[in-house]
Amino acid sequence: MFEADEEFHKIIFEGSNKKRIWNSINDGSTEFQRIRMLRLAANSSWDNIIEQHKEIFDAIKNRNPQKAEEYMEEHLNMVTFDKNTVKEIYPNYFK
C-alpha cells in the first residue's frame, strides 16, 4: 500500500508541475520518509487515507481548487499530528 500512496502523491506533484518539489521531498528528508513509512505500517486501517485521497482527486477532477487545497491541508496535518505518535511507537528509529 505504501507504493500506491507514494504513486498518488507523485502524480499530484507532477500534475501540478511541482515534480522538483516531489524529488526534493524524497531526496532530502529521510526523517519525513521514515515517519510516513512507519505511520503507514502502524496504521492497520487505510480507510481514512484512501478517503482523503478520493476527496483530493475528486476536487481536482471537478476543478475545485479551494476544496482540493482544504483536503490536502487536512491530509498533511494528519501526517504532522501522527509524527509524535510514530516517534513514541518506534523510538529506536529516531535520535
Closest CA to 8 of 44, 50, 37: 50
d(CA 95, CA 93): 7
Q: How many domains does the chain have?
A: 1
Distance CA 50, CA 26 (A): 21
Distance CA(22)–CA(6), nearest Å, equals 10
Q: How confident is the model at residue 44 (pLDDT cuts 50, 70, 90)?
A: low
- pLDDT of 89 over the 60 cut: yes
Q: Name the residue with cell 500512496.
A: 5
* Residue 52 pLDDT class (50, 70, 90 cuts): very high
Q: Which residue range(s) make up the domain with 34?
A: 2-93
CA 19/CA 10 separation, integer angstroms: 8
pTM across the whole model: 0.76
